[in-house]
Amino acid sequence: MKLHEIAVAAPVPGSLTYSFPAALQPGIRVLVPLGSRLIVGYVLAQLPDNEQLLVEIEIKAVADCLDAYPVFPAQLIPFFRWMAEYYHHPIGEVIRTALPAGLSGTSSGAAAKAKTETVVRLCAPLSDQPAAALKKSEQKTLELFYQHCGGSPVMPRRELTKLYSGAGKALKGLAESGLITLEGRHVYRDPFGELLPYSDRPAELTTEQTAAVSALTAAIDAGAFQTFLLHGVTGSGKTEVYLRAAEHCLAQKKNVLVLVPELALASQMEGQFYSRFGERLAVLHSGLSDGERFDQWQRILRGEAKVVVGARSAVFAPFPDLGLVIVDEEHEAAYKQDDGLRYNGRDMAVLRARFASCPVLLGSATPSVGSLYHAEQGKYRLLILPKRIGGQVMPNVELVDLRKEKRGRKDWFFSDRLLAALKENLAANLQSLLFVNRRGYAAFMLCRDCGAVARCRNCRVSLTLHRGRNQLICHYCGYTLRPDIICPDCGSGDVVGLGLGSERVEAEVRRLFPEARVARLDSDATADRRAQISLLRQVREQEIDILVGTQMVAKGLHFPKVTLVGVVWADSGLSLPDYKAAERTFQLLAQVTGRAGRGELAGKVIIQTHQPGHYVLTAARAHDCRAVYEQEIALRSMLGYPPFGRLINLRFSGENESQVEAAAKTAAALLRAVILQNSLPADILGPAPAPLSLIKNRFRWQLLLKGTRPEILHWLCDQLLREKGKICGKKVRLTVDVDPENMM
């Protein structure tokens, strides 16, 4: 019997040992006993033969081998091990997260399977067929084959039966006479569908683009790990740098991984990369069906795809030989997974490049404070694209002080200045974009008699009015109510929606400009990929005059005819209880500002704010990323926040608030005692109720570990997890979030 190290798809720490008569390849899925049930496991390694161990310990045997070939390359196993240790997550659960449905599977079978079709294969040329011996239907079928096969000896059976209703019966006769064979063939489901239009390959690069590409191609040729930070202003041609570097990598017979933060960006990037690489491109993101994702994984695993574009989960793409990793919009918080395996896709992309000994390129018009700091310290190599392509100038940005600016009506969200600019743009047949950082029609429902706010019964958050659906919706648990509610506190029927959202802004724009073609881009209006692509195509083809949108419109989209951008209210993110609030607000403003003036005409941006003197707003007006960096780096240095320190958020949740509070306080006391006893350089902040203290009927408390030495913070986590059963019992859940992006 051979011993094997196997990670099981269950919340079991570490890996387990099982026996099997023969040696199993790493990456094979197996069925193994765990307790009283059978569960899927993943072979990590064959262990040294140890007959004594088999005698002394009852080693359970593998019940079944599920694969003939590995479902992930062995090169990924060190990556999985590192993630499991760093994020304090069971390695089997790490691997299950990485695999597509149908491969992550359970003992009940796969959720997705390979798709096959029947094909007709001609055994000899038509000229060699004995025409006199064939029936008329068989002769006709063969003639249709030759007319439509494009010179290939193979043609799908379904195509012939579409052309001729009698082909099905004729093919059986032809197969019986040995003139053709009917074979099964694996076919891939099309993940692309309609692709966005793309720009032609430019004949020449700018001087700065050329320098960036030269640095990257040299690093690809060297075959060594190195991190590059590409800081390029909006419209400076970062994507073309990605494409040229990818072309060079493929010429060196190596593979390319490209990450984007969200599906809307993935759709645009797909079109650009497909135009260069065609069938060598695979995509991995949440917009795919289980079957499409299964197919794409198989194409990558078999070496048929050489370039992968996808969202954060694409970091697990099963390339055995990576030559380049690219992370677009590297600053985006969307790269962080908020549940389950709470990994950061950007950070793990850097790690994959390190394990693969290849360069990684982080690109952004507004790099994160941490990445800019690493560039200053020499950890990253900085590449700069300071100017827009073709001599285009950055848009003129105007701050409108909502405390003083005139408004035709006090209930309008638009200043007279913004309304006038929209009217001018519309008259000139130019496009405008309005950004509002909240979806829905009204942010909350307020009782005019007693001041109570309608809240979700499962969460301590206000319900948002979505007028298009005629519902009040909780954005955290999905709980809904009809909007014609009676105040639960005083019984009044005078309950009104207040605050703004993208749906309400869209309605106001339609009322103010009835002649305009208006559309909305948010997760409600474009719930799936096809709707997103359709709307983006309409904007590009100038079928939309005014586009209203949330964060989806701010990121990387290229609309040459958009000359006006209006930010309805710029202050919404500044007051959040998060040390990154100012940085994120600037990044969002700078990104949405960058959508204006990307074509031949100059752009104009109007930002409405109640805080025009805030350094984030003045920096956004001046396109001054450096000013925000200097403010933030000084503040974080003083407080010991990243990049000068590290954070681990420990969150406790359960249905009984007193039990959750007790667990959090017990954990804090234990950790403080360990820190004091060992004189460790670490701090504990809290415990305290989370800003969102009740979600889905679960109360939430948290405490924050902070320190300059990550190994100490991880050691403290390990000490706590050893005592988890005593502290939390069965009713309280403990979640470890390493390098948290969301403190809510």
Contact partners, residue 149, CB within 8 Å, separation at least 6: 122, 155
Q: What is the mean pLDDT of residues 362-390?
A: 96
Higher pLDDT, 548 or 470: 548
Q: What is the pLDDT of residues 497-537, one digit of tens each?
A: 877 888 889 999 999 999 999 999 887 766 677 777 788 88
Q: Quote the pLDDT of residue 50.
A: 73
364 domain-assigned = yes
What rounded mean pLDDT belongs to the chain? 90
Residue 175 has pLDDT above 80, yes or no: yes
Same structural domain, 212 and 122? no
641 domain-assigned = no
The radius of gyration of the chain from alpha carbons, rounded to an integer in Å, stands at 29
Rounded CA-CA distance 361/339 in Å is 26
Q: Quote the pLDDT of residue 110.
A: 43
Report field, pTM of the whole predicted structure over 0.85: yes
Question: Of 516, 511, 210, which Cα lies nearest the Cα of 385?
Answer: 210
Q: What is the mean pLDDT of residues 680-685?
A: 95
Sole residue written with tokens 């350089």: 681
Residue ending a domain, among 448, 466, 500, is 500
Could you tell me the sign of the dihedral formed by the alpha carbons of 532, 535, 541, 542, in that order? negative
Percentage of residues in the chain having pLDDT higher than 90: 61
Same structural domain, 462 and 431? no
Same structural domain, 383 and 407? no
Higher pLDDT, 318 or 118: 318
Q: Residue 156: which CATH number?
A: 1.10.10
Sole residue written with tokens 């697990």: 316
Q: Quote the pLDDT of residue 391.
A: 80
| Per-residue confidence band for 448, with pLDDT thresholds at 50, 70 and 90 | confident
Higher pLDDT, 183 or 712: 712
Q: What are the backbone dihedrals phi and psi of residue 717, each rounded to the nearest 5 degrees, phi first?
A: -60, -45
Residue ending a domain, among 71, 98, 125, is 98
Q: Residue 47: which CATH number?
A: 3.40.1440.60
Same structural domain, 52 and 120? no
Hey, what are 301's tokens? 């695993």
Q: Quote the pLDDT of residue 196.
A: 61
Residue ending a domain, among 635, 656, 674, is 635
| Per-residue confidence band for 417, with pLDDT thresholds at 50, 70 and 90 | very high
Question: Of 549, 537, 735, 555, which Cα lies nearest the Cα of 652?
Answer: 735
202 domain-assigned = no
Same structural domain, 228 and 316? yes
Higher pLDDT, 728 or 744: 728
Q: Which residues constitute the domain of residue 346?
A: 207-388
Contact call for residues 337 and 206 (beta carbons, < 8 A): no
Residues pairing with 496 in the sheet = 446
129 domain-assigned = yes
DSSP 638: H
64: left (phi over 0), alpha (psi -120 to 50) or beta: beta
506 domain-assigned = no
Q: Quote the pLDDT of residue 126.
A: 56
Same structural domain, 412 and 374? no
**Amino acid identity of 546?**
I
Percentage of residues in the chain having pLDDT higher than 70: 94
Q: What is the mean pLDDT of residues 618-636?
A: 95
Q: Quote the pLDDT of residue 382.
A: 98
Q: What is the mean pLDDT of residues 77-86?
A: 98
Could you tell me the sign of the dihedral formed by the alpha carbons of 308, 313, 318, 319, in that order? positive
Same structural domain, 383 and 278? yes
* Number of domains present in the structure of the chain: 6
Rounded CA-CA distance 264/526 in Å is 10
DSSP state letters, 536-574: HHHHHTT--SEEEESGGGTSS---TTEEEEEES-S-TTT
Same structural domain, 154 and 169? yes
743 domain-assigned = no
535 domain-assigned = yes
199 domain-assigned = no
Same structural domain, 47 and 150? no
Sole residue written with tokens 């007006």: 621
Contact partners, residue 267, CB within 8 Å, separation at least 6: 195, 196, 287, 529, 532, 533, 536
Q: Residue 524: which CATH number?
A: 3.40.50.300
Same structural domain, 629 and 598? yes
Same structural domain, 430 and 448? no
Q: What is the pLDDT of residues 177-235, one digit of tens each?
A: 888 899 887 777 777 766 665 667 888 999 999 999 999 999 999 999 999 999 999 98
Contact partners, residue 195, CB within 8 Å, separation at least 6: 267, 270, 271, 274, 533
Q: What is the mean pLDDT of residues 407-427?
A: 85
| Per-residue confidence band for 412, with pLDDT thresholds at 50, 70 and 90 | low
- Collapsing DSSP to helix, strand or coil, 38 comes out as strand
Q: Residue 692: which CATH number?
A: 3.30.70.600
| Per-residue confidence band for 107, with pLDDT thresholds at 50, 70 and 90 | very low
Same structural domain, 378 and 410? no
Residue 717 has pLDDT above 60, yes or no: yes
Q: Quote the pLDDT of residue 128.
A: 60
Higher pLDDT, 646 or 540: 646
Sole residue written with tokens 């239009």: 197
